[in-house]
Structure 1
């Protein structure tokens, strides 16, 4: 008899819990029985419920925490209050700007490039004619964002005063500076929501570039903001909007 010939081992059900199958698994004749996913699923669900319960106060401000005194454990609430107060204190220490700073070209290097070594600096190159709808929208959002995120410096300058001959069709242009370099550039608001761009869209840019953290308490909202609709798919934009010439 050829000892190298494979032996056909009868296996009725390789997943059955039998003594014979245990012997076959031990010797590697059949693979290990797949683990029942049910306990893992249940464990994951319980963990998700636990995390949801532990984080149930994450979107609450100090006033809302005060209203929950009769419903939540006092020590647990106090921990959240202390965390909120510490976060507020940290933000207040870093909030040294708080307004839109008008730029002059001779001071650009000092007020933007050098200042970006201390904080994120965002520059809005606005319409030179004052008739650009998107430019007016962004200027208004610039004021809102500057007041809300005082640790980020928001600057504004007419495009033609900053760059001679800058195309009007490229306004507004957003330049994001950090550590002396441009980290992000958006020509017009077409990457956001066009003339329907809102503060939430701008906040998304701040998060993307790292100017604010995704879990920043200032991003929490008590009320549900209306989502701005995206530009229609058929809306055409000039392909050369990114030209700087």
Structure 2
């Protein structure tokens, strides 16, 4: 009998045995993959750690002040300074605050050549359009609430000759001379029921406003006011232009 005969031995590389450890050390079998439960545990621990480290990330100055007796002073001061720097940076950007009516000749200077880093919202408007008047009202609130954004209004057909009335209102969002997004009518926002919250969601999606910006929080009174206004617009659109009390409704809207 030949003593050099090699007998194949089956090895399960997933088994946790001393023999497998020797084989792994010599590179004969691959390293045992970590167990899914161990990976999950590690991921959960990492998530908890990050959550704890970032627990002050979205708190404002007043909320940080209220934690003086509960948090480490140096850690707290770091976030206070961070908030103050953010406030300072934001205040430096507050150049606008109201809707700017522009003409076709002013479009390039006011929109495509706006200061670098400035987000510009352009409303191609049509006064006879119900949705355009709604959007105009909402953009007035946006301009006041986010004065670092530049909000412009130009009658659509003065901007683009023979621009279809059915495309009004059109909202174009620019940054650094480039079009980020274009919305033709309010269909993608909420139609006649569009609210300030819908516009804010667009601003967040386009990174024009940070998703943790405290100004995005709308209190219940504002919500009720928006819903009432949206309902009034919806009713008016159902009645149509032929109704005799259109003028009265218009006056109510601009009160």
State the TM-score, normalizing by the size of structure 2: 0.72
Identify which of structures 1 and 2 has the higher relative contact order when contacts are C-alpha pairs closer than 8 Å and 6+ apart: 1
Verify the 8 A CA contact 1:116 1:177 in the aligned structure 2.
no
Report how many aligned residue pairs link the two structures.
Answer: 221
Counterpart Cα distance in 2 of 1:18 and 1:218: 57
Instruction: Confirm whether residue 154 of structure 1 aligns to residue 151 of structure 2.
Output: yes
CA shift, 1:27, in A, is 5.8
Query: What corresponds to 2:138 in structure 1?
Result: 141
> Structure 1's 35 and 108: CA in aligned 2 closer, same or farther, altered over 3 A?
closer
> Which consecutive residues of structure 2, in runs of 5 or more, have no partner in the other structure?
227-255
Q: Describe the shift of the 1:192–1:135 C-alpha distance in structure 2 as closer, same or farther (beyond 3 A).
A: same
Report the counterpart of residue 234 of structure 1 in structure 2.
Answer: none
Unaligned runs of 5+ in 1: 229-245
Distance 2:174 2:199 in 1: 15
Larger displacement relative to structure 2 (64-73 or 167-176): 64-73
The structure richer in helix per residue is: 2
By how many angstroms is 1:222 displaced? 7.8
After superposition, the Cα gap between the structure-2 partners of 1:164 and 1:116, relative to the gap in structure 1 and judged at 3 Å, is farther
RMSD: 3.2
Q: Is the 8 A contact 1:177 1:184 kept in 2?
A: yes
C-alpha distance in 2 between matches for 1:163 and 1:38: 62
199 and 7 in structure 1: CA distance in 2 versus 1, 3 angstrom threshold:
farther
1:94-135: per-residue Cα shift (whole Å, max 9, x none)?
Answer: 111111111223322222232255622210112231x42x22
**Match runs of 1:56-205 below 5 Å:** 56-115=55-114, 117=116, 119-129=118-128, 131-132=129-130, 134-205=131-202
